Amino acid sequence: MSERAPETLLWDFLRGALTTKALAIVADLRIADALVAGPRPVTELARTAGVDADALHRLLRALASDSARPGARVLATETVIQPGNEPEGAKWLDLLMLALSGGRERTEPEWRALLEGAGLEPVEIADGLVQARCP
Name the nearest CA neighbour of 74 among 39, 121, 30: 121
Percentage of the chain lying above the pLDDT 70 cut = 96
Q: The whole model's pTM is what?
A: 0.52
pLDDT(1) > 60: no
Q: Which domains does the chain have, with CATH numbers?
A: 6-65 (1.10.10.10), 73-133 (no CATH)
- Reported as a single tens digit per residue, the pLDDT across 105-114 is 788 999 899 8
pLDDT(129) > 80: yes
User: How far is Cα 111 from Cα 115, in angstroms, rounded to an integer?
Assistant: 6
The segment with the largest mean pLDDT, out of 18-22, 26-30, 116-120, is 26-30
- Reported as a single tens digit per residue, the pLDDT across 60-96 is 888 877 666 777 777 787 888 888 888 888 888 878 8
Phi-psi sector, 60: left (phi>0), alpha (psi -120 to 50), beta: alpha
SS3 content of the chain, % helix, strand, coil (to 5): 55, 15, 35
